[in-house]
Structure formats: C-alpha cells, structure tokens
Structure 1
Amino acid sequence: MIKKGIVPDVVIYSIFIDGLIKSSNLEEALKLFAGMSKVGLVPNIFVYTIIINGLCKIGRLPEALGLFEEMIIKGFIPDRIVYTCLIDGYCSHKDMKNASELFDKMVHSGLAPDAHAYTYVIDGYSKMFMMETAIALLDDMLKMNLCPTVVTYTVIINEYHKLGDWDKAYEIYKIMLKQGISPDSVMHMSEISSFCT
C-alpha cells in the first residue's frame, strides 16, 4: 500500500493492528503501532484500546498500564471499554489490588461500570475465595439496577461449589432464577462436575 504511494490512515492502521493481535501477532502489531508516528499519524483511543487489550490478554500488564497512562498524557479521556480491558487483565492474573484501583478510578472519573466490568471483578474475587467481596459487588449491581448475566452468577456459584458451600450456591442460584435468568449449559456442566467431585 505504502509502496504504491497510498498512505493508510488511522482507521486502516487500527484494522491491521487488530487483525495482527487477533492472529497472535502482538509484536508485529506493536511495531505497526510504533510506526504510526513515522508517517505522521497519531493513534486514537480505539488503537490504544486494541493494543492495551492485546497486552492484557497475554499478561503484559505493566506495558498495558504504561500505554493507558501515555494515552491520558496525550489528552485522551479513557472510556469504559479501555478501563474494562485493564480490569479484566488484572482480574485474570489475580491482581485484585490493581483491578480494584482501576475499577474505583473508573467510577471516580464519572464512568459507571457495566455488567462486564462487574463480572470481571466478581470473578476475580471469587477465584481468590473472597466471597464476601464478590457478593457485595453483586449486591451493588442489583442496587444500581444493573442486570447480572448468567456468567456473573455462574462464577459465584462455581466458587461456592469449590468451597463446598452448597447452601450459599443454592441461595445465589435462587436469586438468579428470581431475576429471570435461566441457567446455561456451562452452569449445568459446572453443577454436574461439582457433584462428581
């Protein structure tokens, strides 16, 4: 494209970068990202989010956070999506301190967390068997009229099963049904496997 004298714009770069990351080619995506400035292009928030998400998915959290901070310094206002990518990254790597700080920072910046952000944090705390915190977050969701998903309930129920607390698992299951949410095949498989152990 460039050899033919056609200079790609930010949208084209974002498409290529996203494609490279989705095909597990993060290093090439990072080179392309770094090369944008060489052709006089400034990455937008979407490009930053794509790169940050790619870094988070493979556990390169300090780099992701560094880009997040660079993005802010360059005048971009983080949106719910980029915060949620970082929160998911930290929760996936059991770094609940940083995940919680980002969650709080998102709230204090005026962005209300959505069901995805809550589910990631609930999942993170549940996997660390910090069930009181996970349940408090579920209660916050319900108070804010945010509808937890079947995934939200499944992560809590799974961890109660692992702890052998069948009563709590069933209590959460009943709350889920009362909310009009039907269990999915993942939840059913989880219940079956927990009874087999």
Structure 2
Amino acid sequence: MHFENDLYYIEKTLAGDRHAFGQLIQKHQNYAYTLAYRILKNSEEAEEATQDSFMKVYDSLKKFERKSKFTTWLYKIVYHEALGRLRKMKNIMIDIDEVTDLKLPVDDFSNGLELLHLQERKDLIKNALDGLKATESAVLTLFYLEEQSIKEIEVITELSESHIKILLHRGRKNMLISLQKFTKKEISHLL
C-alpha cells in the first residue's frame, strides 16, 4: 500500500478526518508494535501498549509541534507507554511462539529454501533480542530496525548520547554472545 507523508494525514486528522488517522496508524503500527514488544517481550502487552499509544497520539495530535519527525514523537510515546507497563508488570513471561512474523510475499523469493533461511535468520535475531535487557533491545530496535539517529533516540528515550552509545555497544556485544550460544547449541543438536 502506498502512503502519503505523515503531515498529510496529520492535517486531515486535525480537520476531522478519522479515516486519515486510521491510515497513519496503518503506516506505523508495525514499527510501534515492534518497539513495544522489544521492551515488554509479551505480545498481548505490546499490542495494548501500541493501541494506548495511538490513542494518546490522537488525543494530543494538536500538541505535535513538528520540531522533530512524527515518527520520533510517536516512538517516544510508545517507548514511555511500554516502559510504564513494564514497571507495572510483576512477572514477565516470554513466549517465543507468540512473536508475530513478518508477512512476506512468497513471490519475492526464488525458492522455498531461501525463504526458510530468511525465516531462520529472523528467528535467531528475535531470540537474541528477546534475551537482552529491555533498554538494550529497544535502543537496538530503534537504531537498526527503525533507522532512527542517535539524536532521535535521545529525544525518544530521554537518555544521553553517551548512554545510548553504551547501550548500543553492550546490546551488540550481548546479542553476539547470545547468537553464538544459540548457534552452538543448534549445531550440537545436529551432530
């Protein structure tokens, strides 16, 4: 689906067009959910955090000052909503089977083996991200998957640039360790 730029939908929403806000949600819901999931590590909680975040966005859209990109403002709301929920949660249960898969068209792959390899890589990365601390996982998700700059992540998380760089460094290091352990375990099962 082709989407217009965010300001187009914002202007139409502010003029009373609820369908335009629905388009804005469709455009950003997967990224918002991914960020919430990386923090909460629970799909139901992440879905609720995402929905609540979009409600907050709708209620305060008039306050969006356009000093930053809309996505930066949105991710800040999602980030803080998810952190608030994380603080309230007493027991965090991670069920890897609950992780929603990306819907990729089969036509884009030359054969089923390529699709299988892509899915295996995706699963490895998800498992490694799930094993990280919530802040490391969130910062890695924002930087690599959402392609946010360090400055944008500063705005979203309200962490200092140096702290974000430390989290990125530690997150990459911990993710590599996790991937190495997981692949050694998988290889040993094959032997």
TM range (shorter): under 0.3
Q: Relative contact order, CA 8 A, sep 6+: which one is greater?
A: 2
Please, what TM-score do these two structures have when normalized by structure 1?
0.26
Greater helix share, structure number: 2
- Say which one has the larger Rg: 1
